[in-house]
Amino acid sequence: MKYFYIQTLVLILHIILSSAQEGPNASPVSAIFAFGDSVIDSGNNNFLSSLAKSNYWPYGVDFIQGPTGRFCNGNTVIDLLGEKLAMPYLPAFANPMAVGTRIMNGVNYASAGAGILDATGRHWGDRFSLSQQVLNFERTLDDIRSSMGARNMSIYLQKSIAFMSFGSNDYINNYLMPSLYDSSLKYKPPEFANFLLNRYARQILALYNVGLRKFFIAGIPPIGCIPNQRATAQSGRCADSVNQMLGTFNEGLRTLVLQLNANHPTGIFVYFNSYAVMGDILNNPTNYGFSVIDRACCGLGQITCLPSTMPCPNRNEYLFWDAYHTTEAANAILAHRAFTGPSSDCYPINFQQLAFI
């Protein structure tokens, strides 16, 4: 409780100082660096994400200036969190225009089909796995370092946030595909979860060791309830067996965050309980304005809503945009809970508090 009050006072003080000294649109963070998969993919980071860019006006107009989501009908969670901090949309790492001053506010390394494991999503072709995304981040640092001194670089990284969203693909596009991957034959679900967490921890520490100090790490949502898994279950209901697999991973990720905070006091690591937040929406859809939670706006089986497909007209009433991804309306709720949520959503602090530390 004492920690909460201290963080609240720090938050209020920073808001006052920012407003007085830098103006109403000033951001409290230097940059946001996003690591993940198609949930926050900005396009350009692999062939699939570039192909899937939405052509439904006003979305998909510009990789740099417009909403970056390529697997939803507009803004992704990271877009919306950036807006709340007066940050510009993050350019994709592989975008040729992502150079110079365009990368100073951050970069999006997320790649469709990517996972914690290098093998995850290989059937989709080119993609940047977590380990490659970390290497890509180090390449970005080389570019930024050339324009500022070592001391300024250290301060810059300390005021930056790493947003990380991994794990879903390691199940959907690996463990749950025994015809293509042998992971389910080699590991029982708890063993696979621990295998993922060990690999995840190494890469988080790699980012910490190059200077990042603020980490916002999302757990895996109940992917057994996405339209793709409902169809696989052939019952129209959530695939409970899939959701049950995620317990060990999410509990382990929260424990990892506790350990990282204890062992690295100069950093702050936050766990976002996306499973509980999405579960709340699924259990109480009308409270959030949703009337359809078991079907996609673009049909049950589609990977994404391609330009040749006519989406549903009432998108704000749909939880899912396609067979795998949430709509912008859902992303807005997730972003709000990440930004201002209590400790049951974000532990030990929320995204807003993390930004102002």
- Tens of pLDDT, residue by residue over 25-50, are 467 899 999 999 988 776 656 655 55
Domain membership of residue 18 (yes or no) is: no
Domain membership of residue 21 (yes or no) is: no
pLDDT, one tens digit per residue, over 146-175 is: 878 777 899 999 999 999 999 999 999 999
Among residues 37, 41, 322, 345, the one annotated as catalytic is 322
Active-site annotation holds for 79: no
Domain membership of residue 2 (yes or no) is: no
Predicted local confidence at residue 64, as pLDDT: 40
> Exposed, middle or buried: residue 52 (CB in 10 Å: 0-12, 13-18, 19+)?
buried
Domain membership of residue 24 (yes or no) is: no
> Exposed, middle or buried: residue 300 (CB in 10 Å: 0-12, 13-18, 19+)?
middle
Domain membership of residue 266 (yes or no) is: yes
> Exposed, middle or buried: residue 18 (CB in 10 Å: 0-12, 13-18, 19+)?
middle
Q: How many domains does the chain have?
A: 1
Domain membership of residue 8 (yes or no) is: no
Six-digit token string for 244: 């049950």
Q: What is the largest CA-CA distance in the chain?
A: 60
pLDDT at residue 246 tops 90: yes
Q: Give percent of the chain with pLDDT exceeding 70.
A: 82
Q: Which residues contact 198 (CB under 8 A, 6 or more apart)?
A: none
Give the CATH number for residue 140: 3.40.50.1110
Active-site annotation holds for 146: no
pLDDT at residue 222 tops 80: yes
Among residues 42, 129, 168, 325, the one annotated as catalytic is 325
Active-site annotation holds for 38: yes
pLDDT, one tens digit per residue, over 314-330 is: 989 999 988 899 999 99
HSE-up of residue 66 (Cα within 13 Å, Cβ side) = 16
What's the whole-number mean pLDDT along residues 112-129? 93
Output the CA angle 144-35-292, nearest 5 degrees. Answer: 140
Q: SS3 of 218, please?
A: strand
Q: How far apart are the first and last CA of the chain?
A: 17
> If you count DSSP H runs as helices and E runs as strands, how many of each does the chain have, helices first?
13, 8
Domain membership of residue 11 (yes or no) is: no
Q: Cα(51)–Cα(44) distance, rounded to whole angstroms?
A: 9
The parent domain of residue 134 ranges over 29-356
Domain membership of residue 7 (yes or no) is: no
CA-based torsion, 169, 175, 177, 182: positive or negative: positive
Q: What is the mean pLDDT of the chain?
A: 85
Strand locations in the chain (E): 32-36, 106-108, 161-165, 214-218, 268-272, 292-296, 318-320, 346-347
Among residues 38, 160, 168, 274, the one annotated as catalytic is 38
